[in-house]
Structure 1
Amino acid sequence: MQNVYRWKAESVLPSREANNAGFGGYHRSFYEKEANRKREMEQDWKWYDDSGGNEAFRQYQQFTELDEAVGSAYLVEDKTPLSLVLGPYGNQHMFKLPPLGAMAIDEPFIAESENTNTPKRKPTKRSGWIVNIGERIQTLGWAPNQDGDIQYLALAAMTMETAVEPELPSAFVPQATPKKSAIQIWSFRRSADGYFDQTTPPKLCQVICSEFGDVRLLKWCRAPRPHKVLHEDAKDLGLLAGIWGDGHIRVLDITVPTPDLPTQYLHLDSVAFHTRPPDAVFSSLSWVSAHSMIGATSNGGMALFSLPSSLGTNPATPIVSSPLQSTYITTITTCYPSRPHIVLSTCLAGYLSMTDLTRVTTSSGINPSNTVLSPRSRIGRQTMTWHDWSQMLVTIDDNQTLQGLPLRRFYGYSGLGRVRAGVVTIAPSECHPFIAAGQVNGEVSTTNIMRKVSNSKETLVVGRWFQHTWRRTETPKLKLPGSNEQEGTSEGQAVEEAPTKADKGIARFVEGFKPELSMILKPTDSRNPTLFTTIHEAQTAITEVAWNPNLGCGGWIAAGTASGLLRVEDLGIP
């Protein structure tokens, strides 16, 4: 019950340090035993340190170093600065943020002194940065096992033309033509008191360029590992798995130069591990342990891989491959760290499944004896995550209701709360039980669901970290029927012209919201008027949210937007 009572008094955000009674602060899930972490650190990495895994990555993972002029072509094509509106509500100002430029989040809140040339820094209790990536952020994740003063964030962006193109290729097949893509590794310095160092801007340490299509998903291996200094001028970050637009899963061993060195541009020539299912593509992946991972496919199948036996094979062959769902699997994850052998998945048919890998064999595969299905939802769920603190799967339904499926009662839902719009991503933390939900209306909501788990009559309190909005700078033109009719346009239907490519738009951040009670009521209830689903600009959406998994920075959180902005902030309460 420590998972419940330690943070029961904190409803929206975690505290940075525990009080005298031991409540609050950062701590790993109490379901994760320290003996298991020690065993993982000592035993699970022997294949890499002592059995040739490190040498295999060095042999098969090949890069070609590029100069800045060539490497920057894989990042942002349009170098136009983005107009950004920031500051206290009612007194906001417009700023210009160039691509790959950064701004401290407290800068718009600094009060100017009488001499306008010398701004007076006023304490704002805000610690973080806003970075203009320049393109739609597709995926991001903090590097685990980083206890030093430098924290690393990996991300990948997708051009907005690709993201909103009306005639995109099917998600069931790989991209027909190879497209340029890049994985960016950013570094953020931590101050002595644990906040972001506001005097040292974020640094783009490394860019990994490739022509395998857009990077759809990135997942770090979260298994604890011992710290070893391999190079004095480089930092080993661990294993990073990703899904590219060609449908392949690739695993990279990431080593970045120290932040005081210039940005390193590398072209990915070959990898030590890559695989693709026959007649399908990989749609999601998850790490099972330090030496195994599982991938979900577009035809409803799953494949379990062992890294030690797959390095250098072309392509890697799974040790178990079996049908799991009836159609496209949108998300797959494991109940790591407490129960890594339990696999959770969701598909477009509306079913959530829970599978026990200890009962899966190479001959029988997955069968009804080791898989449990949840009640079917009306539409497929876009996102889900495992919340180790409450031992439940957390997901969202089409009515914007946050729901939990307990591990021991997977056949029924537990209503947790309701948010304002459709949820794109849900981020749990390894350092506290608070979750963050990124929505299509540009909001990021945070809450402590343990208050609802321990008492079903408790009303969930939800806080809004910020609200991001994007609008066009050019007014869209409507072609009315009768003037210049186009082919295929029926009478009485207006055709909206798309904005020009040069229209970068204007982005805005609003913050300082009060926490609100989240009532789980019917949409037609008199206390909660009819809930409508609103269509927002595509660039307004929050595409990815991630908490920092390292205890020293447990309050750090990153959010990526479809407009290309990355916001990182320390939300820990002093």
Structure 2
Amino acid sequence: MGRVKREASDEPYEDAPRRVRGKAKQGGDTSTLLRQHGILATRVQATPWPEPGPASMAAPCDADDPTVLPTLKAYASQSHLPHRAQLIDVAWRPPSTEWSAPTTAVAAPPCAPDAMVPVTFQAAGASVQLSLQPYTSVTLPDSASATHPCHVLDAGGHIYDLAWAPQAEAQDSEHLLVACSNHREPNARVADTSHPDDGELQCWVWDPATAHVQCQGRWVCDAGAPLQVAWRPALPPPGSLGLAAVAWSDGTVHLLEVPLQSDGVERLVAERVLRVPGTACYSLAWGGDARLAVGCTNGTVAVWDLDVSDTPVCMAPVHDTTVSAVSWQMLPPISVDGEPQPETRPHLLFSVGWDGCEHITDVADMVAPLRHTHSREPRYAAAWLPWSGSWAVDLGDHQFGTVSLRTHDMGRHHALGFHHARVLCMAASAYHPFLATGSAEGSVKLTSVLAMAKRKTAEEGSRFMHKLFRLARTDSGFVWYQGFYPEGVLPRAATRKSGPPVVLDRWDPQVAVTSVAWSPNAGRALLLASGTALGLVHIAWAEG
């Protein structure tokens, strides 16, 4: 087939002169993506953080609305940190369904956590030394913002995963569900036989009345340790924080209605438990409020429609070994007539595994997945990017980037940035185009997807990765560094191909950032939580 000439983008805000070289610079803008799939954008008009009060939302509108275009232009032409005045909801949400997952809570014996650890917080030449007690938190000044302090809490053990609870707009407080161990090292043996895998779920709440974070509930389960958690993207049922899917170390997935709080340590008993025969469930991803995808340790990918049955609607061996991350393409499917179908459910699933492969699987034909690429290094993280209509993925060589879904370069990678160690986790938001990534050397970086995904969309030298913090270990304990300058990523020359700078460093496994999560709520969309293997969780308001 001959070469296909693509039409130039007719974006009304693309009036700035720029050099166009190659097809990688044509199309791919957010407003075109929204128009093609019939997605309406909703502007967040008021974000009262840190004061109490709900966020106010404007009426949904299309991408051609004059109130939306200035913000899209600002995001596409600069790579600064997000601002509350630029928040726009561009997510597609499949039709809601009704189903339930009752959960019973009974008293359980408490678990003894590890002892406190000495930590030094250092920023802008000043340092604060303290030792956090387990299940307590501390409020510290944020070097990046004088008006928004950051919070550090101690969960008492290795953080496996964490996620913010979706809430109704009328609620002021934010709830963070933390899946953790009771020991700083996840492989530590526990003498208490009543908790053989020594894992628990914790709920931490930020209360605007007290302006600090506190532990509100702790729960254990007979299934072992919670490895992954994912909140159902729907409003919580009455009397609970919401419904969460939790992958436990015994290989099962429990659907739990998380209580508002607990008296001491309680044991949760789920009435709906999902299993895949012959393997253990590991990674989770919701495709709407009823479709759940699970990646297993033997490479199998399974999908449930939970409003229909507890039996998978489809299941197939996609990878050769553990599926470390799964992520849905959250765009309305396009019919044969070219019309979006918002009443349907997502059907394309992206998965990465320890075999180094990236697969895109259609749930209607799971026996024939499309393998995009393969590397000799395992892949650990993937996330859907609503603002660019692509997936973010760690590239296996300390870099992270996007997987293109455009026809002319399907499956190609576009590098966004790098860490100085293996990328372990990432998170994206539907309210702004900034990707948060965490690495094994203890750092968290924020990267503008729109400003870096395509060459020449920004001026040379203006494409930055903002390092939020880095946790390091010294002879005297742990040091939490803040106040970094942005790290620049210059465009690659036409005749020179080079990777990220080689930096030799050593780090302790306990400083690894194991999970990052943006708040899914409109009024707190800039709230970022980062969990570490040491058991500390950092909560910051990421605003420029």
TM > 0.5 fold call = yes
Cα deviations by residue, 1:166-219 (Å, 9 ceiling, x for unpaired): x99xxxxxx9x94232111111124xxxxxx6x432222221222321110001
Between the aligned partners of 2:322 and 2:500, the Cα distance in structure 1 is: 35
For residue 317 of structure 2, the aligned residue among 323, 335, 345 is 323
Going from structure 1 to structure 2, the CA distance change for 1:400 and 1:291 (only over 3 Å counts) comes to: same
Going from structure 1 to structure 2, the CA distance change for 1:333 and 1:529 (only over 3 Å counts) comes to: closer
In the other structure, the counterpart of 2:138 is 103
Whether contact under 8 Å (1:350, 1:378) holds in the other structure is yes
**Which consecutive aligned stretches of 4+ in structure 1 deviate over 6 angstroms post-superposition?**
525-529
In the other structure, the counterpart of 1:563 is 534
Whether contact under 8 Å (1:296, 1:329) holds in the other structure is yes
In the other structure, the counterpart of 2:47 is none
In the other structure, the counterpart of 1:264 is 263
Going from structure 1 to structure 2, the CA distance change for 1:275 and 1:545 (only over 3 Å counts) comes to: same
Whether contact under 8 Å (1:179, 1:211) holds in the other structure is no
Whether contact under 8 Å (1:180, 1:210) holds in the other structure is no
Whether contact under 8 Å (1:543, 1:560) holds in the other structure is yes
Using the TM superposition, give the Cα deviation of residue 269 of structure 1 relative to its aligned residue in structure 2, in angstroms.
Answer: 5.3
Between the aligned partners of 1:411 and 1:124, the Cα distance in structure 2 is: 42
Aligned residues with identical type, % of pairs: 21
Aligned residue-pair number: 452
In the other structure, the counterpart of 1:551 is 522
In the other structure, the counterpart of 1:158 is 181
Cα deviations by residue, 1:2-47 (Å, 9 ceiling, x for unpaired): 5652413441410111xxxxxxx11112x63xxxx4x72xxx23x2
Whether contact under 8 Å (2:255, 2:272) holds in the other structure is yes
For residue 348 of structure 2, the aligned residue among 339, 342, 350 is 342
**Greater helix content:** 1
Cα deviations by residue, 1:325-349 (Å, 9 ceiling, x for unpaired): 2332111121236563210011222
Please list, as runs of the form range in 1=range in 2, the aligned pairs for 1:133-532 lying within 5 A after superposition.
Answer: 133-147=155-169, 148-160=171-183, 163-164=186-187, 178-190=196-208, 199-223=210-234, 225=235, 230=238, 234=239, 236-257=240-261, 263-265=262-264, 267-268=266-267, 270-310=269-309, 316-336=310-330, 338=332, 340-357=346-363, 359-360=364-365, 366-368=366-368, 371-408=369-406, 409-456=409-456, 458=458, 460-471=463-474, 473=476, 506-519=477-490, 531-532=502-503
Between the aligned partners of 2:482 and 2:137, the Cα distance in structure 1 is: 19
In the other structure, the counterpart of 2:26 is none
Between the aligned partners of 2:276 and 2:498, the Cα distance in structure 1 is: 50
CA RMSD of aligned residues (A): 2.9
Secondary structure (helix, strand or coil) at the match of 1:163 reads: coil
Using the TM superposition, give the Cα deviation of residue 391 of structure 1 relative to its aligned residue in structure 2, in angstroms.
Answer: 1.1
Between the aligned partners of 2:250 and 2:404, the Cα distance in structure 1 is: 36
5+ residue gaps, structure 1, are 18-24, 110-122, 169-174, 191-196, 258-262, 311-315, 361-365, 474-505
Q: Does 1:63 align with 2:105?
A: yes
Secondary structure (helix, strand or coil) at the match of 1:8 reads: helix
Using the TM superposition, give the Cα deviation of residue 546 of structure 1 relative to its aligned residue in structure 2, in angstroms.
Answer: 0.6
Secondary structure (helix, strand or coil) at the match of 2:485 reads: coil
Whether contact under 8 Å (2:227, 2:248) holds in the other structure is yes
Between the aligned partners of 1:154 and 1:395, the Cα distance in structure 2 is: 24
5+ residue gaps, structure 2, are 1-28, 32-71, 334-345
Going from structure 1 to structure 2, the CA distance change for 1:517 and 1:184 (only over 3 Å counts) comes to: same
Cα deviations by residue, 1:398-425 (Å, 9 ceiling, x for unpaired): 3322221112343322222333322111
- TM-score normalised per structure 1: 0.72
Please list, as runs of the form range in 1=range in 2, the aligned pairs for 1:16-35 lying within 5 A after superposition.
Answer: 16-17=84-85, 25-29=86-90, 32=92
Whether contact under 8 Å (1:27, 1:431) holds in the other structure is yes
Whether contact under 8 Å (1:419, 1:518) holds in the other structure is no
Between the aligned partners of 2:185 and 2:153, the Cα distance in structure 1 is: 21
Opposite residue 117 of structure 2, the aligned amino acid is: L
Indicate the larger mover: 82-91 or 274-283.
82-91
Going from structure 1 to structure 2, the CA distance change for 1:85 and 1:146 (only over 3 Å counts) comes to: farther
Between the aligned partners of 1:539 and 1:453, the Cα distance in structure 2 is: 32
Cα deviations by residue, 1:240-265 (Å, 9 ceiling, x for unpaired): 001111011111012304xxxxx534
Secondary structure (helix, strand or coil) at the match of 1:407 reads: coil
Going from structure 1 to structure 2, the CA distance change for 1:289 and 1:566 (only over 3 Å counts) comes to: same
Q: Does 1:129 align with 2:151?
A: yes
Please list, as runs of the form range in 1=range in 2, the aligned pairs for 1:7-86 lying within 5 A after superposition.
Answer: 7-17=75-85, 25-29=86-90, 32=92, 37=93, 40=95, 44-45=96-97, 47-48=98-99, 53=100, 57-58=101-102, 61-66=103-108, 70=109, 73-74=110-111, 76-78=112-114, 80-86=115-121
Whether contact under 8 Å (1:556, 1:570) holds in the other structure is yes
Using the TM superposition, give the Cα deviation of residue 95 of structure 1 relative to its aligned residue in structure 2, in angstroms.
Answer: 1.5
Larger Rg over CA atoms: 1
Going from structure 1 to structure 2, the CA distance change for 1:254 and 1:10 (only over 3 Å counts) comes to: farther
In the other structure, the counterpart of 1:486 is none
Using the TM superposition, give the Cα deviation of residue 356 of structure 1 relative to its aligned residue in structure 2, in angstroms.
Answer: 2.1
Between the aligned partners of 2:153 and 2:78, the Cα distance in structure 1 is: 30
Using the TM superposition, give the Cα deviation of residue 302 of structure 1 relative to its aligned residue in structure 2, in angstroms.
Answer: 1.6
Whether contact under 8 Å (1:301, 1:323) holds in the other structure is yes
Opposite residue 211 of structure 1, the aligned amino acid is: D
Going from structure 1 to structure 2, the CA distance change for 1:179 and 1:531 (only over 3 Å counts) comes to: same
Using the TM superposition, give the Cα deviation of residue 532 of structure 1 relative to its aligned residue in structure 2, in angstroms.
Answer: 4.5
Opposite residue 383 of structure 1, the aligned amino acid is: A
Opposite residue 102 of structure 1, the aligned amino acid is: S
